[in-house]
Structure 1
């Protein structure tokens, strides 16, 4: 079965309006709230979910409506100094957002565990999994995620079970957009156009949107066009479907 998975990243209280706008755009195309949310417990240390009763209530309502909830880091902000390949990733693949790229095992495990406990306590349901900010994992994070009992993890090129890291459940690049500079926006728009033509052979296509996407009409138009293109040709699914499919094989 050809499957489409859609997610909203960086779900946090200070992005509530942007998340609402993305939901308004996506829900009619997907036939309901058939998507995932990546929740940041305290985005950049300025937006704690734990102290926001109204936002906690919204998270529970979204979860009750069937939206899958992923833990998406803790702060999202990267405070580490990097060298070598990690430095290249930190500089060119994100703008100070790769929180889990340089964390040691103990710190990564603590943040993952606390995020999991917090989100499950809010929603009353098991989280769908863990996805590192900017899809970047260091050695400590990769060790920790295998010990935190998450069902799923994702990076830019695959989805996998942390207990079976060498057996991907889905392969292929995430279609996403960048709003922080004109050059990155142009590049992401071009990639989305190519994806609409070139990724249809994949069993699973993943599309990820971010709060910053609502700041540019060109990105919103591209998101709508891209989601419509894939939703017309394949089933709109859930990340949990990947686990069910694996169990049947």
Structure 2
């Protein structure tokens, strides 16, 4: 029987208090990882997650910072190292939220925010955390991308531009650090059911699911399961991958 065992590993999840991030955090902790719970403003949720993990017998800490600023990420690195150690697993989940509209109406600063949170966040995380992974000869960089990067639908331009830029960074980074047994992969969720959706009468919107081969929306746990798998030794020979977790709604071509 295969088992995802992250005992002895240290993981950082950025945007850990978000709808998907909180489930990734819980899942990595259940797999045995010590977890650094990053937040930017939702301290109450970060403390709730910390209490939940520690009461279950796990080890965790909370860390605040703006992931678009290199100085904040370097400060986060020092705080995590002092309390838990150098992370073996970095999950880049945080992204700046904004109001979507057409290319002609989208504010230029929205493109900047997406570049900073999708591209520069990952550059800064790599610079901060990959050197220690290199010394150990083991590491995992896991980025949360999106099916939107393949769909290119109206009103998605800033988000799509940021995530496609992120994709380029990850593919290049995978080739640069692979010799050190560091894998670099992306999970691309579709329109996912999360805690804020549960309790609604109709979770499987007909106009969306009719396009999905599995005829349903995925859940936050589906995304977290993919992250946990990529973080484990079961995925030790997978790198440079963009993996949709969306029931087949988008399918990368060969």
Report the TM range for the smaller structure's normalisation.
0.3 to 0.5
Q: Normalising to structure 1: TM-score of the pair?
A: 0.42
Determine which structure has greater relative contact order: mean sequence separation of CA pairs < 8 Å that are 6+ residues apart, divided by chain length.
1
